């Protein structure tokens, strides 16, 4: 994909002024992705997430249902504040192993993380790359973004949680025994990582450009690990493949916009802020995400979202919609990769059917919540 984008630029299909504007908009976002990846990888290496899951197992008091509720809460917080990829890559293996060790069927916990990774990503700009792109268009602070999206974000958490409980309530009954506790190798790294997150999370919603606190946190942790555990620092922790894919997608979709994509999609996207208009755009976004991927779907339809409400409806479509096809969201592919490493197999047929039901139920309710939550009659 990166080669395709570079070829478009070299051949003149992507005009240099358009590329310059695209780079000015997206380079800070990609830098933020790199910084946050480094932060979450090093925090994980310091065993902070393991300590959190140990605490969840204790707080569950032996109740499988209560344990699952804590997993829901952890998935929401990780997605909202650290991004959907963090939930897919780091939270998934820990909660699946927690279920395995407690002799609970792991599938409900695995589906909880992947569904919440996508559907809980409406709350804050940092939750999803699409949100960061939209925030630039909306010119909203993180709190302003949350005020716009709080109602559909709540639907994106509550409806999937209810559907998961209805599907797996038999597996979520009963009790579990006491679990082994992970002993961190370096308590100084553990405390420093926890302190870094405690400072970073409010900074990400303070209105400061998110790349600044993320980069400072990454530099601090890298310096600390260089001193105490240099072997943990490796080039492979950088998200090379997602970065190349994302940069290539940006360039290819911008090339298509330069050659009439906006005009071609305008009749299907419609106009207006009425409830049917917003639902139409959200459904188109969800369908496009499942055919291709949520990022190109957002980029392709962004010019058709000419108001804050329409942009919010598009985000609902491309964030809540990618529960059906495996490739609709990069987070889903990363999630599946982690499950394979744990020898947990997922039947894609069942995944697609369950995801389709969730999207059909949650997406219209989220659009309705957006419409009602922003003062529409």
Indicate whether 238 pLDDT > 90: no
What is the dihedral angle through the alpha carbons of 294, 315, 167, 179, rounded to the nearest 10 degrees?
80
% of the chain beyond a pLDDT of 90:
53
Lowest average pLDDT, out of 6-15, 95-104, 127-136, 315-324, goes to 95-104
What is the dihedral angle through the alpha carbons of 220, 224, 227, 233, rounded to the nearest 10 degrees?
-90
| 235-263: average pLDDT | 86
> Are the CB atoms for 95 and 53 separated by under 8 Å?
yes
C-alpha distances (whole Å) from 108 to each of 71, 118, 257 are 10, 16, 41
- At 197, the pLDDT band (50, 70, 90 cuts) reads very high
3-class DSSP string for 233-253: CCHHHCCHHHHHHHHHHHHHH
Lowest average pLDDT, out of 36-45, 94-103, 179-188, 214-223, goes to 179-188
- Please, what's the b/e burial string for 287-324 (b: 16 or more CB within 10 A of its CB; e: otherwise)? bbbbebbbbbbbbbbbebbeebbbbbbbbbbbbbbbbb
- At 112, the pLDDT band (50, 70, 90 cuts) reads very high
> Are the CB atoms for 290 and 324 separated by under 8 Å?
yes
What whole-number distance in Å separates Cα of residue 312 and Cα of residue 148?
8
- Which has the higher per-residue pLDDT, 319 or 97? 319
| 52-56: average pLDDT | 86
> Are the CB atoms for 44 and 89 separated by under 8 Å?
no
What whole-number distance in Å separates Cα of residue 188 and Cα of residue 183?
13
Q: What are the phi and psi torsion angles at 175 (to 5°)?
A: -125, 160
- At 304, the pLDDT band (50, 70, 90 cuts) reads confident
- At 375, the pLDDT band (50, 70, 90 cuts) reads low
Domain holding 51, by residue range, is 2-373
Indicate whether 182 pLDDT > 80: no
| 125-153: average pLDDT | 91
Q: What is the pLDDT of residues 262-272, one digit of tens each?
A: 788 878 888 88
| 32-55: average pLDDT | 89
Indicate whether 245 pLDDT > 60: yes
Lowest average pLDDT, out of 106-110, 271-275, 353-357, goes to 271-275
Indicate whether 177 pLDDT > 80: no
- At 376, the pLDDT band (50, 70, 90 cuts) reads low
Q: What is the pTM of this model?
A: 0.88
What whole-number distance in Å separates Cα of residue 41 and Cα of residue 127?
17
| 95-123: average pLDDT | 91
The dihedral built from the CA positions of residue 11, 12, 17 and 22, taken in this order, carries a sign that is: negative
- At 323, the pLDDT band (50, 70, 90 cuts) reads very high
Indicate whether 276 pLDDT > 60: yes
Per-residue confidence (pLDDT) for residue 341, from 0 to 100: 84
- Return the residue matching tokens 């072997």: 231
CA 103 to chain centre: 28
Per-residue confidence (pLDDT) for residue 242, from 0 to 100: 83
Q: Nearest to residue 74, comparing CAs of 142, 39, 120? A: 120
Per-residue confidence (pLDDT) for residue 262, from 0 to 100: 77
Per-residue confidence (pLDDT) for residue 214, from 0 to 100: 93
Indicate whether 377 pLDDT > 60: no
- Which has the higher per-residue pLDDT, 347 or 261? 347
Per-residue confidence (pLDDT) for residue 300, from 0 to 100: 87
Instruction: Show the tokens assigned to 349.
Output: 């047929």
- At 311, the pLDDT band (50, 70, 90 cuts) reads very high
Indicate whether 137 pLDDT > 90: no
Half-sphere exposure of 291 (CA within 13 A, CB side): 11
First-to-last alpha carbon distance for the chain, in angstroms, is 44
| 209-220: average pLDDT | 94
C-alpha distances (whole Å) from 48 to each of 124, 190, 267, 343 are 23, 6, 49, 24
- Which has the higher per-residue pLDDT, 279 or 56? 279
- At 312, the pLDDT band (50, 70, 90 cuts) reads very high
Q: What is the pLDDT of residues 151-163, one digit of tens each?
A: 999 999 999 999 9
Q: What's the number of domains the chain is made of?
A: 1
């Amino acid at each position: 994909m990166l080669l395709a984008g570079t070829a478009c630029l070299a051949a003149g299909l992507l005009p240099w002024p358009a590329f310059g504007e695209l780079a000015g908009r997206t380079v800070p976002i990609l830098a933020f992705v790199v910084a946050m990846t480094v932060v979450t990888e090093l925090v994980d290496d310091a065993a902070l997430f393991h300590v959190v899951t140990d605490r969840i197992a204790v707080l569950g008091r032996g109740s499988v249902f209560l344990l699952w509720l804590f997993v829901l809460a952890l998935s929401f917080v990780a997605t909202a504040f650290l991004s959907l990829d963090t939930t897919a890559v780091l939270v998934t293996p820990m909660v699946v192993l927690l279920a395995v060790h407690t002799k609970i069927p792991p599938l409900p916990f695995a589906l909880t993380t992947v569904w919440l990774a996508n559907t809980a990503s409406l709350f804050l700009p940092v939750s999803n790359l699409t949100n960061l792109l939209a925030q630039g268009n909306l010119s909203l602070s993180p709190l302003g973004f949350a005020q716009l999206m709080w109602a559909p974000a709540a639907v994106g958490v509550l409806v999937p949680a209810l559907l998961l409980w209805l599907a797996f309530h038999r597996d979520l009954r009963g009790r579990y025994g006491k679990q082994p506790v992970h002993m961190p190798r370096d308590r100084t790294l553990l405390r420093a990582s926890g302190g870094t997150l405690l400072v970073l999370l409010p900074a990400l919603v303070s209105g400061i450009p998110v790349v600044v606190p993320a980069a400072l946190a990454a530099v601090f942790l890298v310096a600390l690990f260089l001193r105490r555990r240099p072997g943990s620092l490796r080039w492979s922790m950088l998200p090379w493949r997602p970065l190349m894919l994302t940069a290539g997608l940006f360039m290819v979709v911008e090339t298509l916009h330069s050659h009439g994509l906006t005009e071609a999609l305008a009749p299907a996207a419609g106009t207006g802020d009425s409830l049917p208009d917003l639902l139409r755009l959200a459904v188109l976004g969800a369908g496009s995400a499942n055919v291709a991927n949520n990022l190109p779907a957002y980029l392709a339809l962004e010019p058709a979202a000419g108001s804050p409400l329409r942009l919010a409806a598009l985000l609902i479509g491309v964030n809540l919609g990618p529960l059906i096809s495996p490739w609709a969201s990069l987070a889903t592919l990363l999630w599946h990769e982690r499950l394979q490493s744990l020898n947990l197999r997922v039947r894609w047929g069942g995944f697609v059917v369950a995801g389709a039901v969730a999207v059909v139920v949650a997406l219209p309710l989220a659009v309705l919540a957006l419409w009602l939550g922003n003062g529409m009659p």
